[in-house]
Structure 1
């Protein structure tokens, strides 16, 4: 069972006797939340099924629903069974508790990340971050503190194996981008043997005058790269050049006069807000929803990345045809 490619909602729903269930290995170390239990008790009708690891009968997701069933005097509860190893089942438990219901606390998510690093050392920092709802940087720091940095390659969120030290690939990608800026992300990625997302990061670093590798010097000589874009900063106003591009797009009849074009323009405008507005939105998210919103943000970022890749592929295919 690969937790990253597992769809829980496809599992059949069954009834299980409460006496058969265990909750000793829950990622929620802080215990049950009385207010959340009260909220669930006030819900009319049947609550969603819990998630149970069949080999151990461990409750992976639904401890509060289990508590409500016991308070109500129920002897059975609806559930979905999953099989597989206990380590993979723990990952599913963390993912389920991060993405809906009452989110795991930051401390619980960090503890979960440490455990997943131990059981899945081949996973990339981003893949562990996606499962636990914390940043890839935090995962990297937890991995460093734990002394787990010896793997030469790790498995990413897309299931592909990539080397931990990608500095050489980044340098090669930078050379190709400088020599031919018109190449698409996938074209550069194919030549070098790295992911399109890594190429995107390298291109962005060159545009900002930075080294293609994260640990390199921050700024390069201006003549060393032909691509130049003002460095973005979350705390600053939006780049005027980008705003100017957006205004040109709004004036283009091919977008302005078609339904699909207008939808795209609205989406681009929605994200084209300045740093102060982003900060206001950031601080307006309640703490108990931070991990949920972060998950949505990462998912939407991935959608935009795939959208950009398909656009570039479309241009490449048209040029080749």
Structure 2
């Protein structure tokens, strides 16, 4: 109760007067002070995003939802609204524009990821089936699939003889992630698949992969993944950047699993949550970039 009251008072009373005092002392608005006092990394963009969302001005509030092609116009409106002298602060506009492009890009990225997640796997869709067959070929290049519905799918970590049922939770996003990792990191993907068949510490490769897709999606949805993208991409993040983050999770989770040496796969949820917490802690650091070393494009 006390925490909520403090947040309310700070946002609606104290923050206003603090900003007013600082503007009188420095001659600059909060957005200018953030741009001057923060490095070109996630810290600056996250602080700009919060400042815009907390503003009493609709012009500033609406800027966080601006489309990519509206960003330049939003910057001009903000400069006008806040009466910023751009002759004195010549770099402000470019700094703010970069932040708005990143903010806009992350929101657009989430919509693209959400669209893939909501798109169900359809065995009557030729493109879906081709992607599934490609996944098998990449992971098992020396073994031919005997039939479309077969127990062989269990060899790459699906639960039954038809993988389509395993994609229900994450839709085509789950398959796209698995396929991207296998395409761009074939050696690592096959190594992890081989390790997943360990008689003592083994796990279901594809099922765990889909589970990690859900983890990546939840981190994007709750905003924690912004830190990574704001540091990684000096502009608008693309769908491939999300897939690359999934590759990081797939590689790091396998390493984590074998380092932890769980007694049984029955403890999967417990260790999965521990790994999840580790990732979330990393994302609280303004300098975080979670990417595989020596990434191949």
Provide the TM-score with structure 2 as the length reference.
Answer: 0.29
More helix by share: 2
* Greater RCO (Cα-Cα under 8 Å, separation 6 or more): 2
Provide the TM-score with structure 1 as the length reference.
Answer: 0.28
More strand by share: 1
